[in-house]
Structure 1
C-alpha cells in the first residue's frame, strides 16, 4: 500500500523514515549476514576538543538509529543482533589507524562512523580500503576524502571545507570584507580550509593579505591576534578556521585583544551549537557561518532533535544528526541487499536520491561517494530573540545542493 503524504511526513518528522531505501526483507538480496550480527563502530573524540560536537553523543545517535531500525522491521529485520561499539581516536592519526583496525578485525565492525579530525579520518579511510569495510565520515571536513584519497569504501556524509568556504567566505567578502588575515590549525583540516577559503575569497573579489598555521590543539593564539592587530593597513576580516575548543579560545582572545574595536571583523569557518554555548551567544550574536544542518531548521529537524534531547539531555550538533542519518541509511541498505557485504551494500547506496530530517535534496554520488545536499548560511541569534535554551541559530538563506558542494574531483578514482 502506498503511504499517504501525511504518513510520510510524520515519519520523517520522527526521524525514522529513510526515504528511497526501500523495505526489502532479509532475503531481498539473497545474501547473508556475517556471523549473524551487524556491528557498527563509532570512532570519535571521547575526551578532547571535539568531544562535545561529536563524542559520546555521536554514539547515542548511532544507537538511536539501531533502535529505530529494529522498531521499524521487528521480526522482518535482516538480523536482530545489531551491536554498537565505540573507541577514542584522541585526535591522533596513528591512534585512529590502530583503533580502526581493531574495530574492523577484532570487534567485527561492518562499518565505522563519525571520526572528527581530518588527519584521523584520512588514516581511517586507508584502513577501510585495506579491510574492504565501509566507513561513513561525518566529522571531518577535508575534501581529500572524496578527492585524491577516495576509495570505494568511504562515504562523505555531512560537509566539507568547500561547502564551508563557499558559503561564509563568499558572503562575508561580498558584504565588504575584502582583506582577510586567516589563521588555521596546522593539520589536514586547517590546511584544506585555508586553501578553500582563499579560493572562495578571491572569486568573490577579496584577497588574503596574511595567513598563518597555528598549533593543534592550542589554548594560546595571542601571537597571531597581535600580528593581525599590528598589520598596516589592518585587515577587514580575521578568518578563524579552527573548530571546537580551539575556536572558543580564538574567539575569547579576539575579544580580549579588542580587534573588533579596530574594525577587524571576525569570520568563523566552522561553528557548532556547542561552540556557541561555550563562548556565549551574546558574544557571537550576528556572526555568520555555514552549516550542514541545525536542530531548529524546521519542524522535521526539531522532531528528531526533540527525541535526541529526550534521550541525551542535550540538543544535537549536525555531526551527531549526520551519524544517525548515515547509520540509518546503512542499515536500510543492508536490509535491502540481504547481506552486510560491503560491495552489495554500496550498490544499494550509490546514486540514491533522498531527503530525510538531516539531508535535504540529497544524492549519494557514485563517482566519489560524496553526499550532496542543501546547506545553510546561518547567523548566531541575539539571545533576546531565543525562544528557549539552546536556540542559537537563525537561517539566512538555503544554499541549494547543486551549489553547496563542488563537482566530483578529477583526482578521485574509484578502483
Structure 2
C-alpha cells in the first residue's frame, strides 16, 4: 500500500476564554517555543486492522485537544501556532521507524501520539530516545514501554497487558474458568499478553492447557479453533488475545465451530466498542473484559464523548479518549513551562496527580512514565438493556489504580 502522509493544520482560535477557565500566560522561566510553533504528530493505523480502534479518529481527538486548548487560553496561549500532522505506520515497525524519523526531523514534531501495534510502538520509542523528543503511547499495550526499553521521552498513557490480564484473567479463572487454551498474535503485543495472562491465570488457581501463537494479521483461525476440543485435558476457556479486525475473525469462527456448545467459553483479552459493533453485541453479551475507559462510564466521560460524536459521527474508543487526554496534558505542561523542549515539558508532567474525563485517580509516575489510573472490569451489555445504539458496556467493578497496574519495573532506569 502506498504510504500516505498528510498534514492537518490547526485552525487559529482567537477568541475569548471559556467562561470559568482561568490560567495565565506562559511562564517567564528559561524555556521558549522553538520556531514559535508546536507540532503534534499522530502516528497510527489509518486503514488496517486497528483503524477503528485508533486511526483517523485519533487524529480528530488530538485536533480536538488543540482546539479546546486554544479556546481556553486565547491570546494567552503559549503559542497560537499549533499544528497536527498524521502518518500511517501500516502496523509495520520498519515503517513506523521511518515515519517517526520523518515527523520528528523533517516535520519538526515536538511530540508523537497514538501508535497502535506494540512492535511499531517499540520502534517509535527508540526513535524518540534518539531524537530526544516526546512520545505519548496510547495505542499499544506492551509493558516493555515502561519496562526494559523505557526512556525519558516515552509516556505510556492508557493501558498495558498487565492491566488487561490481571483484570480479565483473574476474574474469569475465579468464576470457574480453570483450564485455558490461549491463542495470541505472534508479535510483541501478543507475546506480552500471553505472558501476563499466564501469570494471572496460574496466580488465580487456573492452568494453561496449551498456548499457540497465530499469524498477524490473519483472517483464518480454523487450525487453532478445531484443535481446542481435542486437547487433553480439554480446556473450558478459549483465551482470544487478538484485537481489532483479527479479534472479530476469531469470534466469528468460534461461533462457526460451535465451541461454546462443546463446553469451551470465550474470554477476550482486549475489547473495544468498535470490536463489539463489528462482531455484534448480541453475540458477545455477557462477555467479561477489562477496559481503561468507556464512553458512558460517568457523566464527564459522556459529555466529552457527546462532543466527540458531534465532531466525528462516532463514539470514541478508549485509545481516542486517551489521545485527547495526553495531548491536553502535553499542551498544559508546555503552557506552564513556557516551552516545548522535552525536558521542560517532562519536568511539569512527572509526578503529576490528576483526574480528568478519561483517567480517574491518575498519577504520571516519574519512575517509569507509566500513567496509573482506575480501570474497569466490565461485561458486554445485553442489547435489550442498551439506552441507545453504541451503549455496549456495563461496569462490573472499578479496579483501583494501585491494583490495576504493576509496580515500576526494576528494569526501567530513566536517569
TM-score by length of 2: 0.94
Question: Quick check: 1:186 aligned with 2:206?
Answer: no
2:104·2:131 contact (CA, 8 Å) conserved in 1?
yes
Whole-Å Cα distance in 1 between the matches of residues 270 and 243 of structure 2? 6
Is the Cα contact below 8 Å between 2:209 and 2:232 reproduced in 1?
no
What does residue 287 of structure 2 align with? 287
> Whole-Å Cα distance in 2 between the matches of residues 27 and 352 of structure 1?
18
Q: Map 1:60-75 to 2 at 5 A.
A: 60-75=60-75
Unaligned runs of 5+ in 2: 1-17
CA contact (8 A) 2:350 2:365 kept: yes
CA displacement, residues 224-281 of structure 1 (integer Å, 9 cap, x when unaligned): 0011022233201000000000000000000000000011010000000000000000
Worse-matched range after superposition: 226-235 or 120-129: 226-235
Q: Which residue of 2 aligns with 1:8?
A: none
Q: Deviations over 1:13-63 (max 9, x none)?
A: xxx99x9xx935223433210010000000000000000010000000000
* Matched residue, 1:368: 368
Match of 1:256 in 2: 256
Q: Does 1:204 align with 2:204?
A: yes
Alignment of 1:26-105 (within 5 A): 26-105=26-105
Q: What pairs up with 1:7-406 in 2 under 5 angstroms? A: 23-406=23-406
Gaps of 5+ in 1: 1-15
2: CA distance, partners of 1:250 / 1:63 = 34
State the Cα RMSD in Å.
1.2
Q: What is the SS of the residue equivalent to 1:86?
A: strand
Q: How many residues align?
A: 397
Measure the CA separation in 2 of the matches of 1:118 and 1:225.
Answer: 25
Q: Which runs of 4+ in 1 moved over 4 A?
A: none
Between 22-31 and 64-73, the greater mean CA deviation after superposition: 22-31
Q: What TM-score do the two structures reach when normalised by structure 1?
A: 0.94
* Structure 1: distance between partners of 2:28 and 2:368: 26
SS in 2 for 1:397: strand
Distance 1:295 1:191 in 2: 29
Shift of 1:151: 0.1
SS of the aligned residue for 2:25 comes to: coil
Q: Which has the higher contact order (CA 8 A, sep 6+)?
A: 1
